[in-house]
């Protein structure tokens, strides 16, 4: 942990030098522990300049998502107030469930450099190569009835759009209900899962997992996924620092959580503005069949209103149906 604290302090100083003695006092560790942490960070690829009588200064850093990079900017946040940063995990959502069962606090955020079993909706896999994407899950414990959190994935989608826009200057669109799309290709998937108390059926926790393609090249996607997927780096033409993106995403989630569910109208209007599904011909996919329909609107409960060829209309929830475009991904 000394390593993460030293890194956080160096980042806070920006271009300024900070002495080993000052770090020792601020962090409550020995100067020898400071020196060991500095050397360990250097071994990991952090370029740390040292100067006599001035101390240390961080000049360059590898693209890593770790506690030392995140904790300072997230100070005071409820979401992200506790962090678990991993090198590899089967799934950040699965780990969040394990942490929830062990009593982890509201607002815990889990990030991993790699997922070996990343999951999407309806049992689909989510490709999560090491060091390429942002794989993040927030554990929330709202004191609400399960019915009151039915639309939270839509709120999360708006928040993730906010975070990407803040970090990268581009705003994705939303393919109803849980995918973010940039220039017609999938950029991000969101998977929300609930945990209920067995006896009362009350909400114990909810977890919302976010997987963003950040610095992927086309070769990082399987041949099946490559035609429909993209990454921020591909669209922007330059790499994106994942720690900065993580900070902005978590801040946006924190703002969203503070307003949930009271500020529904604002998020509903923003979801409608971001949603690209409305006005398109779509395929509605259930375990039993595929049907064609026209997406008409997003109703006041974030459901997709569709019109069938025979003129019938229906309002669909995400749990009932999966939507695919008739032509291409969207």
Domain ranges of the chain: 2-60, 67-274, 281-325
d(CA 215, CA 232): 6
DSSP 216-268: --GGGS-TTTTTTB--HHHHHSS---HHHHHHHHHHHHHHHHHHTTTTHHHHH
Name residues of the chain where pLDDT drops below 50.
none
Q: Return the pLDDT at 216.
A: 95
Q: Return the pLDDT at 42.
A: 96
Architecture of domain 2-60: Orthogonal Bundle (1.10)
Digit-coded pLDDT (tens) for 67-99: 999 999 999 999 999 999 999 999 999 999 999
Q: Return the pLDDT at 126.
A: 66
Instruction: Check: CB of residue 145 under 8 Å from CB of residue 165.
Output: no
Q: Would you tell me which CATH number, out of the four given (2.30.40.10, 2.60.40.10, 3.40.50.300, 2.30.30.100), belongs to the domain 281-325?
A: 2.30.30.100
- Residue whose tokens read 């926790």: 205
Digit-coded pLDDT (tens) for 100-140: 999 999 999 999 999 998 765 555 666 788 889 999 999 99
Domain 67-274 has CATH 3.40.50.300: no
Q: Return the pLDDT at 324.
A: 80
Give pTM, 2 decimals: 0.92
């Amino acid at each position: 942990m000394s390593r993460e604290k030293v890194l956080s302090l160096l980042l806070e100083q920006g271009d300024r030098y900070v002495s080993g003695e000052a770090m020792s006092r601020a962090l409550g560790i020995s100067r020898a522990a400071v020196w060991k942490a500095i050397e360990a960070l250097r071994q990991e690829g952090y370029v740390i300049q040292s100067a006599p009588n001035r101390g240390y200064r961080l000049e360059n850093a590898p693209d890593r998502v770790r506690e030392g990079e995140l904790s300072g900017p997230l100070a005071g946040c409820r979401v992200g107030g506790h962090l678990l940063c991993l090198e590899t995990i089967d799934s950040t959502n699965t780990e969040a469930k394990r942490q929830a069962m062990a009593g982890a606090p509201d607002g815990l955020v889990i990030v991993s450099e790699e997922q070996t079993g990343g999951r999407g909706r309806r049992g689909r896999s989510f490709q999560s190569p090491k060091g390429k994407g942002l794989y993040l899950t927030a554990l929330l414990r709202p004191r609400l009835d399960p019915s009151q959190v039915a639309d939270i994935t839509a709120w999360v989608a708006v928040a993730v759009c906010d975070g990407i826009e803040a970090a990268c200057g581009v705003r994705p669109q939303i393919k109803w209900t849980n995918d973010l799309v940039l220039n017609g290709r999938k950029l991000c998937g969101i998977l929300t899962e609930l945990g209920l108390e067995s006896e009362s059926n009350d909400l114990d926790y909810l977890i919302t997992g976010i997987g963003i393609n950040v610095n992927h090249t086309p070769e990082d996607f399987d041949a099946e996924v490559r035609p429909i997927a993209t990454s921020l780096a591909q669209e922007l033409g330059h790499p994106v620092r994942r720690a900065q993106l993580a900070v902005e995403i978590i801040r946006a989630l924190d703002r969203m959580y503070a307003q949930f569910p009271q500020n529904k109208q604002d998020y509903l209007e923003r979801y409608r503005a971001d949603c690209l599904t409305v006005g398109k011909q779509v395929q509605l996919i259930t375990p039993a069949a595929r049907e064609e329909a026209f997406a008409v609107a997003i109703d006041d409960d974030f459901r997709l209103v569709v019109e069938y060829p025979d003129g019938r209309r229906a309002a669909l929830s995400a749990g009932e149906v999966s939507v695919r475009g008739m032509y291409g991904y969207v």
